């Protein structure tokens, strides 16, 4: 009896060990692609926990910043290099706070003067706001200076190997193809992709992807496109995502298993990125210095590195 009991105990212990190891591995696999994809600043305590405590679209020093920049979210991959380069040119500006949320959300934050993420409420006013041309132009009365600094175009992001054999925008109308689509309500790219649908397949393609497939669930509308679409592709939740070309370039750059399907020029669109210096910028001198840096050859080279187009 003692031998049998001991054997049972060993079997139970082995089962628990295997189950625990399996669960840990499953959790690791679930969050293996989670941001932050940037390099976090160094601190005495690092408490980023994937899937739980992770705020990838807030950067740098939130207490008493010497410069605050709101970037359209799809530029997140450039932030590390941009802020490092700017600080080298202007070492007296040490504390910088930046956000890379969707431009429509940032515009609402500017208007309402606050933003809450989880339990954190942010009331910083930006010195500089960057977004697509149409967004900046619609807010032109808020800026004392506006500059163009980069451009972008559309690509289709698919999992490595392109299992659904996506070749064009027209393929997105298939019921068997799950689409991750930026929500046009707060993402400028969403409205521009709608234009591309109409170029590639007329109103029929546009309505199929943006109405019928949204209704049946095979088109997913994102809330944070610049993070959500790549994650959905990487985790197998979507088969294709129309994104800026820079998004595919960056995911491949950091070794994630995605591929690009090019959108031909006749169906593509071009986005123009502009930066506005706020008239009521709390830190006007730093704002002017950052605008100058953003249009410098050094900053443009950074954007080119990550798949953006420059003059």
CATH fold of 152-267 reads D-Maltodextrin-Binding Protein; domain 2 (3.40.190)
Pick the CATH number of 58-151+272-305 from 3.40.190.10, 3.40.50.170, 3.30.70.1520, 1.10.490.10: 3.40.190.10
Report the pLDDT value the prediction gives residue 304, as an integer from 0 to 100.
Answer: 97
Report the pLDDT value the prediction gives residue 23, as an integer from 0 to 100.
Answer: 45
Report the pLDDT value the prediction gives residue 22, as an integer from 0 to 100.
Answer: 45
Do residues 60 and 40 make contact, with C-beta atoms less than 8 angstroms apart? no
CATH 3.40.190.10, the chain: domain bounds: 58-151+272-305, 152-267
- Would the pTM count as exceeding 0.85? yes
Concatenating the DSSP letter of every residue in the chain gives: -HHHHHHHHHHHHHHHHHHHHHHHHHHHHHTTTPSP-S-PPP-SS---BTTTB--TTEEE--SS-SEEEE--GGGGGGHHHHHHHHHHH-TT---EEEE---HHHHHHHHHHT-EEETTEEE-PPPSEEEEEHHHHHHTGGGEEEEEEEEEEEEEEEEETT-TT---SGGGGGSTT--EEEE-TTT-HHHHHHHHHHHHHHHHHHHHIIIIIHHHHTSEEEESSHHHHHHHHHHTTS-SBEEEEHHHHHHHHHTT-SEEEEEPPGGG--EEEEEEEEETT-SSHHHHHHHHHHHTSHHHHHHHHHTT-B--
pLDDT in tens, the chain (311 residues): 555 555 565 555 555 544 444 444 444 566 888 888 888 888 888 888 877 788 899 999 999 999 999 999 999 999 999 999 999 999 999 999 999 999 999 999 999 999 999 899 999 999 999 999 999 999 999 999 999 999 999 999 999 999 999 999 999 999 999 999 999 988 888 999 999 999 999 999 999 999 999 999 999 999 888 889 999 999 999 999 999 999 999 999 999 999 999 999 999 999 999 999 999 999 999 999 999 999 999 999 999 999 999 98
Do residues 155 and 261 make contact, with C-beta atoms less than 8 angstroms apart? yes
Report the pLDDT value the prediction gives residue 5, as an integer from 0 to 100.
Answer: 59
Report the pLDDT value the prediction gives residue 26, as an integer from 0 to 100.
Answer: 43
């Amino acid at each position: 009896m003692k031998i049998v009991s001991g054997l049972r105990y060993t079997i139970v212990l082995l089962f628990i060990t295997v189950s625990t190891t399996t669960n840990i591995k499953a959790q690791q696999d679930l969050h293996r692609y989670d941001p932050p994809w940037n390099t976090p600043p160094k601190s005495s305590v690092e408490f980023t926990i994937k899937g739980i405590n992770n705020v990838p679209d807030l950067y740098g020093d939130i207490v008493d910043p010497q410069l605050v920049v709101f970037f359209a979210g799809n530029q997140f991959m450039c932030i590390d290099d941009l802020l490092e380069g700017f600080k080298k040119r202007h070492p007296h500006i040490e504390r910088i706070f930046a956000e890379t949320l969707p431009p429509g959300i940032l515009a609402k934050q500017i208007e309402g003067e606050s933003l809450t993420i989880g339990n954190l409420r942010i009331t910083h006013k930006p010195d500089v706001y960057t977004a697509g041309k149409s967004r900046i132009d619609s807010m032109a009365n808020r800026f004392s200076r506006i500059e163009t600094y980069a451009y972008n175009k559309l690509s289709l992001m698919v999992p490595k190997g392109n299992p659904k054999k996506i070749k064009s925008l027209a393929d997105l109308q298939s019921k068997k193809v799950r689409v991750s689509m930026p929500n046009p309500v707060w993402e400028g790219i969403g409205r521009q992709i709608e234009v591309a649908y109409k170029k590639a397949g007329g109103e029929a393609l546009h309505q199929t992807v943006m109405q019928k497939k949204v209704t049946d669930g095979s088109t997913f509308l994102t809330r944070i496109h610049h993070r959500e679409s790549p994650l959905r592709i990487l985790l197998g939740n979507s088969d294709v995502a129309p994104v800026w070309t820079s998004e595919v370039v960056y995911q491949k750059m950091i070794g994630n298993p995605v591929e690009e399907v090019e959108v031909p020029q006749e169906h593509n669109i071009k986005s123009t990125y502009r930066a506005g210096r706020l008239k009521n910028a709390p830190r006007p001198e730093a704002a002017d210095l950052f605008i100058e840096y953003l249009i410098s050859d050094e900053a443009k080279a950074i954007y080119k590195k990550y798949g953006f187009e420059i003059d």
